[in-house]
Amino acid sequence: MNLNRFIFKLLLILLVLLLLQCVFYLILPQEFPAIVNMLSKELQKENDIVGFGDSSVYFHAKEDDIDKSIFKILSGFYPQLSLHEFNSPAYHLDLYENMIRFFIAEHKNVKILIIPINMRSFSPQWNMNPGYQFEEENIAMKNYNNWIFRVFYKPLAVFKLFLPKIKDHDYNNAIVYNGDKAVGRVKEFLSRRYSDWKSEKYIKDKFIFHYMYSLGKEHRKISSMLRINKMAKLNNINVIFYVTPIDYESGNKAVGPEFQRRINDNVSVIKKIASKEGFDIIDLSLTLKASYFSWRTDLKGDFSPNEHLIDKGRLFVANKLKEKIDFIFDGGLH
């Protein structure tokens, strides 16, 4: 009898908590991840051009004359069109997939969608990093229109149920490859393990860590790219994929000529898969010399090779994207 009364009281308390949570949901504004709110509020029903991106799209050096992002520069070429950009450090294809799925579900029409493919994002440095998984953002976008999720989103966030599936231990112990040869684990290549961030060994190790993996066609980010293209086709969206420029000159100097060959091989994997599926990719990986990159002079960074460009580099990429957009317009998209 006492057990039944206890169960009844417990159920009553749970019911009260449930009702209180519903009341809180109705009277308090919901604070979803920033990207979810931006996609929902900033995109209109009809949109001409939308750009997704990581920091390679917008990072500018202190000495730059132009501090605009690639998309802001591109917007200046088309003052008559609407252009929205959604970017943040470490964004990547897995997240872009859920971003496009989200705005399609929200009935936002987009004519042209621009998506960068950062080759470093396939490496263990990026792909396995727990901080780059965006679990909360992905789950929120997938369940945004589920009223049960919306009601309980705040408690779920408070109790940290959106923690990355990849743990720090897994990341630190992931194997780093130079081609097909294992050369160590992630924890051995992290910046804090080095005393001199400008030494030849540090620079060489970082180029290996970031770019010298051998890309397999089964990589999850390639699968995301294919699903993005499929969703775009089904919804009459013209997707422009482009491979971001890489500082291959510095890579060749640090690692040797095999660096450029590895970049070529890895990019070729993506381009061949895209070609087989009937779409093309703008390959800018080996188009810019070392002087177009700012990673060596960025005093706020760890002098680790990345894809950040000076203003002339961002202008170069914007012009290449303009060529493709003009081609699409000439084909009848107005």
Residue 227 burial by CB count (10 A; 0-12/13-18/19+): exposed, middle or buried? middle
| Residue 145 is assigned to a structural domain of this protein | no
End-to-end alpha carbon distance in the chain = 74
Report how far apart, in Å, the C-alpha atoms of 286 and of each of 10, 264, 267 are.
65, 8, 10
CA 313 to chain centre: 20
CA 8 to chain centre: 49
pLDDT of residue 283: 98
| Residue 81 is assigned to a structural domain of this protein | yes
Domain identity same for 185 and 266: yes
Domain containing residue 7: 1-30
Residue with the two structure tokens 């066609």: 217
pLDDT in tens, 75-89: 999 999 999 999 999
| Residue 283 is assigned to a structural domain of this protein | yes
CA distance 51 to 71: 7
CATH number at residue 189: 3.40.50.1110
* Beta strand 109-117 pairing with 238-243: parallel
Per the structure, the count of domains in the chain is 2
Q: How many CB atoms lie within 10 A of CB 289?
A: 13
Confidence of residue 161 (pLDDT cuts 50, 70, 90): low
Q: How many CB atoms lie within 10 A of CB 51?
A: 24
* Beta strand 175-178 pairing with 181-185: antiparallel
Domain identity same for 113 and 25: no
Domain identity same for 16 and 81: no
| Residue 35 is assigned to a structural domain of this protein | no
Is the pLDDT at 177 greater than 90? The verdict is yes
Domain identity same for 88 and 13: no
| Residue 199 is assigned to a structural domain of this protein | yes
Mean pLDDT lowest among 163-167, 195-199, 279-283, 304-308: 163-167
pLDDT in tens, 213-246: 999 999 999 999 999 999 999 999 999 999 999 9
Q: What is the mean pLDDT of the chain?
A: 90
pLDDT of residue 32: 81
Confidence of residue 298 (pLDDT cuts 50, 70, 90): confident
Is the pLDDT at 326 greater than 90? The verdict is yes
Domain identity same for 128 and 203: yes
Task: Tell me which DSSP letter residue 199 carries.
Answer: S
Domain identity same for 265 and 308: yes
Mean pLDDT of 261-278: 98
Domain identity same for 6 and 76: no
CA distance 255 to 262: 11
Mean pLDDT of 164-178: 93
Instruction: Identify the bridge partners of residue 47 per DSSP, sorted by sequence position.
Output: 110
CA distance 327 to 332: 9
Domain identity same for 20 and 74: no
pLDDT of residue 207: 98
Domain identity same for 246 and 288: yes
Is the distance from CB of 270 to CB of 221 less than 8 angstroms? Answer: no
